[in-house]
Each structure stands twice: as C-alpha cells, then as structure tokens.
Amino acid sequence: MELSGACAAVCANCGAPLGGEYCAQCGERRMHPDEHTLRHVVGEWFEAFSHGEGRLLKSLRTLLFQPGELTREYFRGRRVPYTRPVALFFAVNLLYFLLAVLQTFNTSLSTQLEMAPLTEVKQAMIMRRVAGASISGTESAAFAGDYWRTENPSAMNAGKSTEPTTATSARAVVSAHDANVLGALQSYGKRYDERTDALSRALVIALVPMLACWLWLALVPWRRGLAELSIFATHAWAALLLILLVFGWAWKGLANAMLWFRGELPAFLQTDGYGSATLGLLVLAYLYCALRNNFRFSWVGSAALCVWTMAGLYLSLELYRVLLFFVTVYALH
C-alpha cells in the first residue's frame, strides 16, 4: 500500500492539515510508507514488549523489595517508569491464578457449606436447589456433613481436626432417597466448583476496596483520603499475591526436597500449621514495612496500624468468601 502526497498532508484521523510529525488537533502521528512493511511491524512489537516488560519487572522488584515505595512514587508523580497500579494488580493476579500452588481464594462447595459465617443459610440455600423441596435445618446439616466426608476422604482417614463441627455424625443407614439427594449434591458441587474457580479470578479485585475502606476507618484523624488508600491497597494486594505465589512454590519445593533426601516428610511439613504460621509472619513483616514507609508513622504507630491491617485482611477474606459463594450460586441459575 502506498500513501499519496495528499493523504500524507492531512491527518488520517481527523483530516486536519499536518504541519509536522504529529497532528496539532488530535495528536495522531503522520503515516509513512515504510510503516506497512513487515520489518516495521516486527520492530514495533519488539519495542512494545521490551518497554512494557521493563516497566513490569521494575514494578515487581520495587513492590517486593521496597514495600510501600511504589505508592509513594505514584503520589510523587513518578509514574512513567512503573506499571499503572490496576494494570500491575491484574498482571500479578493472572500470574497467581496460572501458577499458584496455594488455593487461598478458591473455596470449594464442601468447604463453604461447613465454613462460618452464615453456615446454616448456605446449607439451606444449596439443599433447596438440590432437593427441590424444603428440608429441615438438621437434614441440611447432615447432608452437608456427608458431602464433606465424601469430598475429603484423606482428611477423614488422617483423623484431622478439619472434620465438620456441625451436628453431622455419620449415619449408619442411608435411605435410597438420601443417596439420591447426596448424588444430586455431588453433581451440583462439581458445577459449583468449576464456576467458582472462574469467578474467583475476577472477584479477587473486590479485596482492594475492602482493605482501602478498612484503612480509612483507622486513618480518618490523619485525613488520609480514599484515593491514596485505594492505590496503597492495590499495591498491597498485588504484593500479597506475589508472596503467596512465591511462598507456595518454595514450600512445595522444600517438601519435594525432603522427600528426595529422606524418603519421607518431616513432621512440620505434614500439617498446615507451620506453613500458615510462616506465611503469616512474612505477611506481617511486609505489611509493617509497607505501612511505615508509606505513612511515615513511628514504629509503635506502624505496628498498631499493622495489627489493624492484618485484622482487616482476615475480615475481608471472610467477606470475600461469602460474596464468592452467593455470586457463584446465582451464576448457576
């Protein structure tokens, strides 16, 4: 394709006369004949990839190794060297859901039905959809317990304390009707788990405004606006996703190494307690550094705000799981 002199003298976008390389009216760049060659197209792809990759890698390094600095740089006005906060969050979110070992944000139906809050409400809602008729709360709890045991045989065999705490003791005799209802519940659970896995990747963004509002409640006396806190919460959750991703692979690598060297797992790798405690300390240390660097409080104030933020993370995760449950249920109908 060739460009005529007339076409080159006016803007291809708005038709205004061109007096230079860029249009004075809309900013569109003047077209050149060599822009239609394969060499030019490949060069543009390489430039866009290398520039974007450089910004992303710099953002990830700053996010992990200089907690809180990315938010300070954003409000200093130094934004060009870094990936935008929302774009950074979605990039990390994509990495997490593609590569993560830990399933922190994806909760199966069997776990949801035994997890507070609103346990009885969730059980009744699911059983109404599965059984097609109203059943008592006791029956709903019993079916939920049977379903949990069916979906978690390894936990049952190991005798772990994760067994449901509701009144769902195993029944010696199961009627044909009960077996049919349990089968329908298992079928529904498969569809639920597939849908909630997809929805969890999109709904995780809801954790950002939850954390921002939680921080705002504590920082009202210091007149910290929601705009600043939203950017901080976006960076904080992106960092936490990265920490979860790296920690999950590190813990799995340690377990595989122990199996290879010793032929068996040591006691601290056979339960979730040590891993959860280690991860909790890592998150606590990161948040303390990020809060102190960004808000410039004393170590006492930063520690108090860190405790408040950890409580907010816990509550927001609980609210997120409830939200994920109801969104998934209504998405299936």
Predicted pLDDT at 193: 93
- Tell me whether residue 290 is exposed, middle or buried, using C-beta atoms within 10 angstroms of its C-beta: 0 to 12, 13 to 18, 19 or more: buried
Give the number of other CB atoms < 10 A from CB of residue 286.
Answer: 20
Highest mean pLDDT among 105-114, 148-157, 256-265, 308-317: 308-317
Two structure tokens written together for 33: 């004949």
CA torsion angle 285 289 291 296 (round to 10)? 150
Band (70; pLDDT cuts 50, 70, 90): very high
Checking if the pLDDT of 54 tops 90, the result is: no
Across the chain, mean pLDDT equals 83
Predicted pLDDT at 295: 95
Predicted pLDDT at 290: 97
Q: What one-letter code names the amino acid at 170?
A: A
Two structure tokens written together for 50: 């290398």
Outline where DSSP puts E strands in 11-168: none
Tokens 């933020």 found at: 309
Q: What is the pTM of this model?
A: 0.79
pLDDT digits (tens, 9 = 90+) for 88-145: 999 999 999 888 888 888 889 988 988 888 888 898 888 888 877 667 777 777 878 8
Query: How large is the C-alpha radius of gyration of the chain?
Result: 27
Band (282; pLDDT cuts 50, 70, 90): very high
Tokens 């705000």 found at: 305
Alpha helices in 101-159 (DSSP H): 109-112, 119-131, 137-151, 153-158
289 or 185: which leads in pLDDT: 289
Return d(Cα 109, Cα 113) in angstroms, integer.
6
Return d(Cα 123, Cα 101) in angstroms, integer.
28
Tokens 């600043």 found at: 228
pLDDT digits (tens, 9 = 90+) for 143-190: 788 788 877 765 555 544 444 544 444 444 456 667 787 888 889 999
Two structure tokens written together for 196: 């909630």
Quick one: what percent of the chain has pLDDT higher than 90? Answer: 45
The residue-averaged pLDDT of 76-89 equals 92
Two structure tokens written together for 199: 């929805």
Two structure tokens written together for 324: 């994920």
Checking if the pLDDT of 327 tops 90, the result is: yes
